[in-house]
Structure 1
Amino acid sequence: MNSTTKNDAKRPFPWHLIVFLFPALLIYCVFSVYPLIDTLFLSLFDEQQGQAHFVGLNNFITLITDENWSHAFWNALSNNLKFFIIHMLVQNPIGLLLAVLLSNPKLRLSSTYRTLIFMPTMLSVVIIGFVWQLLLSPIWGISEEFLYSIGLGHYFDAWLGKESSALLTLSLISVWQFVGIPMMLIYAALLNIPDDILDAGVVDGANPLQTFLHIKLPLILPTISMVSILTFVANFNAFELIYAVKGALAGPNFSTDLMGTFFYRTFFGFQLQQGSESMGAAVATLMFLIILIGVMLFLFFVQRRIRRFQL
């Protein structure tokens, strides 16, 4: 037996780690793990005359195939995909561009710009929805007068009141509010790039664009990957903005309905729709599975390619 083995045998068990980790683990299990397991369990039952009956996967089959449920489900899922794609194609590239600009040491007042861009992120989604609803109102909003003042008045329309533009408008409002998050994450990653690497690129004759494409971008790809995952998870959990602006019915004609608002109506009921705990749990379970499968596929295909690219 060598000295290392003897030292390991004499080393006491780190009970202090359990003492410090137990409160956090307990809180996590009570408020995250237990509700998740209970939701999965509840989705397998159906309540009839006040009694729960085990129905297996019937709730999921009904949700996906029954004509009374399937149209609303697929509509909400389709809108959620559009909501996510808009954020990926608009929010994250803008966040990347802003991070690159603000990381330039020659830019004056960069800290002020960062604060102003990130400030909407700290505001309540309810406040943001209410304010933008006032701004875009055709009756008392200022958007119409503003567009006319710059010669673009003929483009103004009741964007929140039309099925063709309501979801896009709400998506862009969400982009405006949360673009500060990818900006700050990518900005922090850019600041962590060693100056020696950048200086070596300048010595080799690389211009700013080449420096970004061939040096900075490969080094911040893991951060961009993490931002994409956070965007996917956040968008498929979105609820507050749609509910604050368009209510639980997600009008007009459910054109802004997302999985979050669909779950709210299904579980709690709304107006003439009666709530169902089992069907609501089935919707929540499908939301969880969609997020889980999406993150796993992203990590398996995209993350592996990023690691190969870096190597």
Structure 2
Amino acid sequence: MEFASSRKKPIRWHIAVFLAPAVFVYTTVMILPLFGTLQFSLFRPSLVGQAFVGLDNFRTLLGDPRWSASFWNALWNNTWFFIIHMLVQNPIGVLLAALLSSPRLRLRGFYRTAIFVPTILSFVIVGFVWKLLLSPIWGVAPGLLDLVGLKGLFAPWLGKEEYALTTLGLISVWQFVGIPMMLIYAALLAIPDEILEAAECDGITGMGQFWKIKLPLILPSIGIISVLTFVGNFNAFDLIYTTQGALAGPNFSTDILGTFLYRTFFGFQLQTGDPNMGATIASMMFFIILIGVCLYLFVIQTRLRRYQF
């Protein structure tokens, strides 16, 4: 017995062998570019190459009126874009998941597929198609609204400053509502039948069962979806660029951090590129996302653990 207890546990080299390819790819594609961007944001061009300036680029971005106005406008637009998804996309996803999880609903597989298909479409296709649909000249939206007597409500939503960003947010909701739907649907199916049977024995059925039993149990999944929505929205770029261009018109009303970064780093039309300031904007995006995710992990997730089964 003493000999057996004194034996050392074997080193599991196979774990490192299997993890090595993934770690190498992730480090090469994600970690090294991230640190390179953070480093690049601390320098400015000089006569002898790149000169270290510390946090001066960040002070310029947040304090110089020429930069701060565009940055705060893009940040607010990103925040509004995120709010639209949180208030529209995720509740609709939960509702659709609840309906599709009902055993009484027929053709559930068809509905799941039809709702999820837009998520696999290219941003270019989605942006171009919706731009055609909403066009006041050759789009079908005015005619469809006229069929139901609501043509007076039609407006060039993508061409008006007060409507453009909200319209793009709703288009994005249409495209990606299938993702929270499927995640919540999987969480609902994972609820043990014993819990639901016990609730039925206590007379809790229908919508009451969903609000009192199912919803508290899927709160951790809803939290994860909220984090994914936050990260995805603050990394958004493709849909805005496809429909409104790099200038995020009209009059920068749809400008978000992604398009602001693109114009700053690469330049556009008469604007010359500034890679150092572009790296500064990218670093700010990283810090914003990092703070948001940390707040969720250390403040919200710890409170949701008690609902897990």
1:208 aligns with 206
Unmatched 5+ stretches in structure 2 = none
Query: Which residue of structure 2 aligns with residue 110 of structure 1?
Result: 108
Deviation at 1:301, TM superposition (A): 2.0
Given the alignment of the two structures, is residue 283 of structure 1 paired with residue 276 of structure 2, yes or no? Answer: no
Cα separation, partners in 2 of 1:125 and 1:206, compared to 1, 3 Å = same
| Dislocated runs of 4+, deviation >2 Å | 1-7, 307-311
Kindly report which structure 2 residues correspond to 1:77-156, keeping only aligned pairs within 5 A, or say none. Answer: 77-156=75-154
Assess if the C-alpha contact under 8 Å between 2:82 and 2:230 holds in 1.
Answer: yes
Q: CA deviation at 1:309?
A: 5.4
Q: Is the 2:119–2:178 contact (alpha carbons within 8 Å) kept by the matching residues of 1?
A: yes
The letter of the residue matching 1:279 is M
What is the SS of the residue equivalent to 2:19? helix
Aligned length, in residue pairs: 309
Match of 1:47 among 31, 45, 50: 45
- 8 Å contact 2:220–2:307 — kept in the other structure? no
**d(CA) in 2 for partners of 1:207 and 1:106?**
14
Q: Counterpart in 1 of 2:160? A: 162
Partner of 1:66: 64
| Residue of structure 1 in register with 2:256 after alignment | 258
Q: 1:204 to 1:44 in 2, by over 3 A?
A: same
Residue 269 of structure 1: aligned partner: 267
Structure 1: segments with no counterpart, 5+ residues? none
Seen in structure 2, the aligned counterparts of structure 1 residues 6 and 220 have a Cα distance that, compared at 3 Å, is: same
Which letter does structure 1 place at the counterpart of 2:95? Answer: L
Deviation at 1:308, TM superposition (A): 4.4
Q: 1:194 aligns with which of 192, 195, 203?
A: 192
In the alignment, is residue 38 of structure 1 matched against residue 36 of structure 2? yes
Q: Which whole-Å CA distance do the structure 2 matches of 1:28 and 1:132 have between them? A: 35
> Relative to 1, partners in 2 of residues 1:203 and 1:243: Cα closer, same or farther, differing over 3 Å?
same
AA matched with 2:6: K
Give the drift of 1:45: 0.2
Q: What CA distance in whole angstroms lies between the structure 1 residues aligned with 2:240 and 2:14?
A: 46
Q: How does the TM-score come out when normalised to structure 1?
A: 0.97
Residue type of the partner of 2:183?
L
Task: Report the CA distance shift for 1:217/1:4 in structure 2 as closer, same or farther (over 3 A).
Answer: farther
1:254-290 alpha-carbon deviations (Å, 9 max, x no partner): 0000000000001001111111111000000000000
Say what the alpha-carbon RMSD is for the aligned residues: 1.4
Return the offset for 1:164.
0.3
Residue identity matched to 1:214:
K
2: distance between equivalents of 1:66 and 1:232?
Answer: 28
Instruction: Give the Cα–Cα distance (whole angstroms) in 1 for the partners of residues 124 and 226 of structure 2.
Output: 24
Q: State TM-score, norm by structure 2.
A: 0.97
Q: How does 1:290-309 map to 2 (within 5 A)?
A: 290-308=288-306
Aligned twin of 1:57: 55
1:5 deviates by: 3.4
